[in-house]
Amino acid sequence: MDAEQTTLANPFGMDEHCTNCPALCETRDRVVHGYGDATADFVFVGERPRGRGANRTGVPFTGDDAGHKLQEILGALGLNNASPDADEPDLENVYLTHLTRCHHPKREPTDEEVAECEAFLTAEIRMINPEVIVPVGERALAALAAEYTTTSPDALDVGRDHATSIRGRGFELVPMVAPENQTEAQTEAFVEFFGGLLERDYRQTKGRRSR
Domain range list for the chain: 22-198
Single out the residue of 18, 72, 66 nearest to residue 191, CA to CA.
72
**Distance separating alpha carbons of residues 199 and 56, to the nearest angstrom:** 35
Mean pLDDT of the chain: 92
In the predicted structure, residue 187 carries a pLDDT above the cut 80 = yes
The residue-averaged pLDDT of 162-166 equals 97
The answer to whether the Cα torsion of 187, 188, 191, 194 is positive or negative is: negative
The one-letter amino acid code at 54 reads A
**Distance separating alpha carbons of residues 16 and 25, to the nearest angstrom:** 11
**Distance separating alpha carbons of residues 149 and 5, to the nearest angstrom:** 30
Single out the residue of 190, 197, 195, 194 nearest to residue 69, CA to CA.
190
Percent of the chain residues past pLDDT 90, beyond the cut = 87
- The CATH number given to 22-198 is 3.40.470.10
In the predicted structure, residue 210 carries a pLDDT above the cut 70 = no
In the predicted structure, residue 209 carries a pLDDT above the cut 50 = no
Taking the whole predicted model, whether its pTM rises above 0.85 is answered as: yes
Q: How many CB atoms lie within 10 A of CB 83?
A: 13
pLDDT higher at 3 or 17: 17
Residue-level pLDDT at 203: 63
**Distance separating alpha carbons of residues 128 and 114, to the nearest angstrom:** 20
